[in-house]
Amino acid sequence: MSRFRSLLQASVNATKKALTWNVEEWVPPAEKHIFKFHSKEDLKKWHLYSDSEYGGLSSASLEIPDKEDGSDCTGIFSGSLSVDLSEGSKWNISRSGFCGMRSKKFDGFIDLDGYDAIALRLRGDGRCYISTIYTENWVNSPGQAEDNSWQAFVFAPKDSWYTAKIPLARYLPTWRGNVIDVEMEMNPGRVLGMSLSVNAEGGAVGAKSGAGDFRVEIDWIKALRLP
């Protein structure tokens, strides 16, 4: 009988160990690097856009400065916002004064299931920027190629490095920059890309707004599991 009990206890212990191992394997790491901005190769994963594609006069650049002191390099997204339109523009747009940087299409998807927030390490100019997550299309325009977009404001304090942590629940579904009045949740397991943009209208109370220059340094973008 004692031998049977020993075998039974050993079986129970093995089962508990297996269950613990499976749970640990399922839980993702505390953070997941999505993008870094430390080299010119890193920047090749992004492309720029602005209202200039539609007759606006805003402009933007994304670059890595050369540092002779050997310090770490970070990407600089900068440019100028203008609310004016080109004379004789064929485009009939309702607003101008925006620029953005968007990641190129992934080879497949990035799976952020199991994570709670997006973190961006920034050093800005006091403006409010817009963080966008693009997911597989199944809401905005069924049967069309456009991705679903989810947006949240992120403030970039002037002259100070700051890690902004944005809960995924704070990202709102949008269509061409306007919030969609619908109750739904993002599917973080089907992320197609991301962007960071800025517009002259501002965003957060107290943030710098209006036409003029903008500049934000960006170190990395990560997904986080919050405690």
State the pLDDT at residue 199.
94
pLDDT of residue 2: 52
End-to-end, the C-alpha distance of the chain in Å comes to 46
CA 77 vs CA 93, 139, 166: distances in Å: 24, 30, 20
Q: Poorest-confidence range of 50-64, 108-122, 130-144, 156-170? A: 130-144
pLDDT above 50: residue 21: no
pLDDT at 24 over 80: no
Percent residues over pLDDT 90 in the chain: 56
Question: Range with the lowest mean pLDDT among 30-39, 41-50, 91-100, 207-216?
Answer: 91-100
- The answer to whether the Cα torsion of 85, 95, 128, 218 is positive or negative is negative
* 91 or 75: which leads in pLDDT: 75
Length of the chain in residues, anyone?
227
pTM of this prediction?
Answer: 0.82
Bigger pLDDT: 33 vs 67 = 33
Query: How deeply is 45 buried, as exposed, middle or buried, from its count of CB atoms within 10 A (0-12, 13-18, 19+)?
Result: middle
pLDDT band at 70 (very low <50, low <70, confident <90, very high): low
- pLDDT for 15 beyond 60: no
pLDDT of residue 105: 80
Which one is predicted more confidently, 144 or 90? Answer: 90
Q: What is the pLDDT of residue 43?
A: 96
The Cα-based distances of 206 to 69, 96, 155, 209 in angstroms read: 35, 21, 10, 9
Give the chain's radius of gyration (CA, Å): 22
Q: How does pLDDT run across 146-202, given as a tens digit for each residue?
A: 678 999 999 999 989 999 999 999 999 988 778 888 777 888 998 999 999 999 988
Closest of 125, 121, 130, 122 to residue 154, by C-alpha: 130
> Environment class of residue 178 by beta-carbon count within 10 Å: exposed (0-12), middle (13-18) or buried (19+)?
exposed
Considering only CA atoms, which of 90, 115, 125 is closest in space to residue 186? Answer: 115
Q: Compute CA distances 51 → 54, 112, 211, whole Å.
A: 5, 31, 13
Decide: 72 and 36 in contact? Cβ < 8 Å. no
* DSSP category for residue 110: B
Average pLDDT, the chain: 84
- Distance, in Å, from the CA atom of 184 to the CA atom of 203, rounded to the nearest integer, reads 23
Give the model's pLDDT for residue 49.
95
> What element of type H or E holds 218?
strand 212-224
Q: Give the separation between CA 89 and CA 93, rounded to whole angstroms.
A: 10
